[in-house]
Amino acid sequence: MSIDHSSATLFCNLNSHSSDIPFRKSCERVLQRTKQFESHTLEQILAFDNPGKPFIDDHQHVYIWYLAIGSMINPISLHLRDITPLMSYPAKCFDHRLVFRDRSGMADIDFCEGEEFDGVVHLVPIEQMNRLDQVEHMYTKIIVPVTDYQERSHLVYVYKMTPNGQQERPIGIPSERYLDIIIKGCEYFGVRSSYINRLKNKQTVIPRKSADTYQTIADVPDNVFYTYEDLAKHDGKDPTIPLWTSVNGKVLEYSGLPSVDHPDYENQKRFYDFVLSYFGGREVVCAISRAWYEPMFKIPLNDDDICDEHRTLAEDMCVSWGLNCGGDNSASYWTPIGRIYQIKKT
């Protein structure tokens, strides 16, 4: 595992205790809604298993042995991506190490003779794996051998980050949230405590922001209100109607892309397409709170199930993405135009 010993003023080690209770509550919610695979059916599938192949073909379906090393170790992250493994178990990967790459600090695997790290192996239907391939578009699958804690070996697929040209992407620092997701998953699936402690005590992280530093959307006009029906009409499907989205009831209107020769055009175009596809004409906070899972909070079932601090965190994320910066930021492409009219519940 790659360890970064950067300045303690900027980085820290993970404190995972504060997320223990919310994670446990999230797991209880997920397990109540997860259909358990029948052991008899699993035994029939495993009868076709060959440890020398990273898949099982039972002549009816194909299943993939997949080594999770990042957020897909976590059962909540699996649930949120609609991935339902038939079985999961912890395993060691010899002659490789876990590293974190790029500014985002995402997990990656490196060949390194003599080193080892632990992950969680999932047996996943190929249809779900194909869907995960689309999500993990910065990665390609490679085949590596793993050994479970009973010293049984198997070939598995694992995601390897695609190089930037001919060069590996630079080593980065994971966020505290991301490492917490990984560690919670390791604990859930029974990964060795020695490896978990290694992650907790030796891997530096970019600390979570404190709640008093969250940014909020500014300059929202007073006394201008819209309904959810108004919002839904502005979903971007009709090019003659401006695109709207809503963050905690604050309605934002898209003001248009910069010129094609603008240095930020490509980034803004991708972000616009993303908002158009997922958040156009919608209130985004519940979707963000589920898609960007934060173990500090229990997974919300609906919009009414989100606490105030979780809402503010989601709004802070939107501001950091550029949905609105307010104030003197002239590069904002989103304009606050009013609020959603809220009917008080009795």
What is the tens place of the pLDDT at every residue in 54-100?
Answer: 999 999 999 999 999 999 999 999 999 999 999 999 999 999 999 99
pLDDT of residue 8: 37
Q: What is the CATH number of the domain that holds 330?
A: 3.10.120
What mean pLDDT, rounded, does the chain reach? 90
State the total domains in the chain.
Answer: 2
In a domain, 308, yes or no: yes
Same domain, 67 and 50: yes
- The residue range of the domain holding 162 is 12-205
In contact, 283 and 251? CB cutoff 8 Å: no
Same domain, 28 and 155: yes
- 157 bridge partner residues: 66, 143
List C-alpha distances in Å: 85 to 36, 51, 298: 10, 18, 22
Strand residues in 27-136 grouped as ranges (E): 55-57, 62-68, 87-101, 106-125
What is the tens place of the pLDDT at every residue in 263-298?
Answer: 888 878 888 888 888 899 999 999 888 888 999 999
pLDDT of residue 30: 82
Same domain, 169 and 220: no
Report whether pLDDT(33) > 90. no
What is the tens place of the pLDDT at every residue in 133-148?
Answer: 998 988 999 999 999 9
What is the tens place of the pLDDT at every residue in 238-271?
Answer: 989 999 999 999 999 998 888 899 888 887 888 8
Between 137 and 130, residue with greater pLDDT: 130
In a domain, 219, yes or no: yes
The structure's pTM equals 0.84
Report whether pLDDT(15) > 80. no
Q: How far apart are CA 206 and CA 178, in angstroms?
A: 10
Q: What is the CATH number of the domain that holds 78?
A: 3.10.490.10
Report whether pLDDT(330) > 50. no
Same domain, 123 and 162: yes
Same domain, 173 and 32: yes
